[in-house]
């Protein structure tokens, strides 16, 4: 963990990722709530996840839950393996 106030020089790269559109809307809303860019928000979430630490305060999770309701996100991490794209056919 870096505790020094010394700046850390980094190199960012442009990338194209595919992400579920409702999750993206929530993520953009959270980034706006925290006054961060989408890329900065992803970096923050990932760095916390890499350290097995929560990324948000109680108020942050309340904002996320509100955004999930607004954007009809009714699934969670346990549902991830059930995701299929709307243009994919279900098995059966």
pLDDT at 4: 76
R_g of the chain, CA atoms, integer Å: 16
Residue-wise DSSP of 58-87: HHHHHHHHHHHHHTT----GGGGGG---TT
Low-confidence residues in the chain, pLDDT < 50: none
pLDDT at 77: 92
pLDDT at 1: 58
pLDDT at 89: 63
pLDDT at 87: 80
pTM of the model: 0.81
pLDDT at 13: 93
């Amino acid at each position: 963990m870096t505790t020094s106030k010394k700046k850390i020089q980094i190199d960012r790269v442009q990338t194209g990722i595919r992400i579920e559109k409702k999750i993206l809307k929530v993520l953009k809303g959270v980034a706006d709530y925290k006054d961060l860019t989408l890329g900065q928000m992803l970096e923050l979430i990932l760095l916390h996840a890499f350290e097995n630490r929560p990324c948000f305060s109680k108020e942050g999770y309340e904002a996320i839950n509100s955004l999930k309701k607004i954007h009809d996100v009714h699934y969670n991490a346990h549902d991830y393996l059930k995701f299929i794209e709307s243009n994919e056919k279900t098995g059966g």
